Amino acid sequence: MQKRMRNQLKYSHFEVRFSAVAFARVSACAVLAASTFFAGILSAQGGQPSVTAKPEPGIPAAIATPPHDLSGVWMQYPDGDVPGVPGMNAVDDRTRPPLTPWGKARFDAARPLVGPRAVPGQENNPALRCDPDGPPKLLNLPNPFEIVQIPGRVLMFFELGHIWREIWTDGRPLPKEPDPTYLGYSVGKWDGDTFVVETVGFNDKLWDDSYGNPRSDATHLTERYRRVNHDTLELQIIIDDPKAYTKPWISPPKLHKLEPDWEIAEWFCVPDEDNAYDEVVRKPAGVAPGHK
């Protein structure tokens, strides 16, 4: 219980830090839903999801799970596997393979906003310039995303940065020589109950996570989505980036909760607005929970 409470507090703190803007803008309905969610965590923690992602015993599947339907607004469970930075481990730093020399040079040059390597005043996270975020970093941030399925495509809408992304499901292959982009080029298909998304064509301007782990243009990203039950979506991320890492980086599965009443709010990263936000919330690396 004590641990749960701690996670809860950390999570709430984190949530306030990273979602203050979004939740200030979200409708009263969603705010209500959010508070219901937080309140609900305590009671739902009987089946507290863990890093090993064995949710079936604890999370009742009260409603039948629609087959091959991932639609809805999903929010990461605050399982807090990384001390002080709950919900940011869809890409799990602890399972990272050794860096290549290229990867090491990039990693050393990165000055993150959070975590033990954060140095106040030296932050160089591209998010400070409001550069667009992309996968897998986007999947790491503790903000909701929505999935919409239409014929031939799966669309993902991320609250953070108001980013949208499309995953082609019309059977097309990955492009041979894609232009490097922030979001990459994604195709997906069902493998049994798992929706498998493969993405290539990334640029190397973003990190894989908030801790400065590099993403090169050789990255082949695999995301495996599985709707464990009606209310629970599991996501496992595999980063195969031979330019940055000596072997594939396989993160353990991560759980997300369906939030039926939430709507994705407008949360753009705007340089002017963000100057103030940075000073208060994002930039003071020295006081980030992870640093403590």
Partner 1 sequence: MKHRHSLPANRNMMLRFARQFVLMAAGILLAANVLAQNGKTSDDGKMREASTPLSHDLSGVWMQYPQGDVPGTPGMNTVNERFRPPLTPWGQARFDASRPLVGPRAIPGEENSSSLKCDPDGPPKVLNHPNPFEIVQIPGRMFMFFEEQHIWRTIWADGRELPKDPDPSYLGYAVGKWEGDSFVVETIGFNDSQWVDAYGNPRSEQTRLTERYRRLNHDTLELQVTIDDPKSYTKAWISPPKLHKLEPGWEIAEWFCVVDEDKAYDQVVRKPAGVAPASKSK
Closer residue to partner 1 in complex, CB, 83/175: 175
| Shortest separation between residue 268's beta carbon and partner 1, angstroms | 4
SS3 state at 86: coil
With binding defined as CB under 8 A, does residue 179 bind partner 1?
yes
- Applying CB under 8 A, among 44, 99, 130, 281 the residue interacting with partner 1 is 130
With binding defined as CB under 8 A, does residue 24 bind partner 1?
yes
Sign of the Cα torsion 144, 135, 185, 164 reads: positive
With binding defined as CB under 8 A, does residue 132 bind partner 1?
yes
- Applying CB under 8 A, among 3, 13, 68, 129 the residue interacting with partner 1 is 129
Question: Quick one: angle between helices 2-25 and 28-44, nearest 10?
Answer: 170
- Applying CB under 8 A, among 48, 65, 124, 181 the residue interacting with partner 1 is 181
With binding defined as CB under 8 A, does residue 32 bind partner 1?
no
Distance from C-alpha of 281 to C-alpha of 62, rounded to nearest angstrom: 39
> Which residues touch 103 (CB under 8 Å, ≥6 apart)?
213, 214, 216, 241, 243, 244, 245
Site residues for partner 1, window 239-278 (CB under 8 A)?
264, 266, 268, 270-272
With binding defined as CB under 8 A, does residue 68 bind partner 1?
no
Distance from C-alpha of 105 to C-alpha of 127, rounded to nearest angstrom: 20
Rg from Cα positions in the chain: 18
With binding defined as CB under 8 A, does residue 164 bind partner 1?
yes
With binding defined as CB under 8 A, does residue 204 bind partner 1?
no
> Which residues touch 74 (CB under 8 Å, ≥6 apart)?
144, 145, 146, 147, 233, 256, 257, 258, 259
**Chain contacts with partner 1 (rule: CB under 8 A):** 24-25, 27, 129-132, 148, 150, 155, 157, 162-164, 175, 178-179, 181-183, 185, 264, 266, 268, 270-272
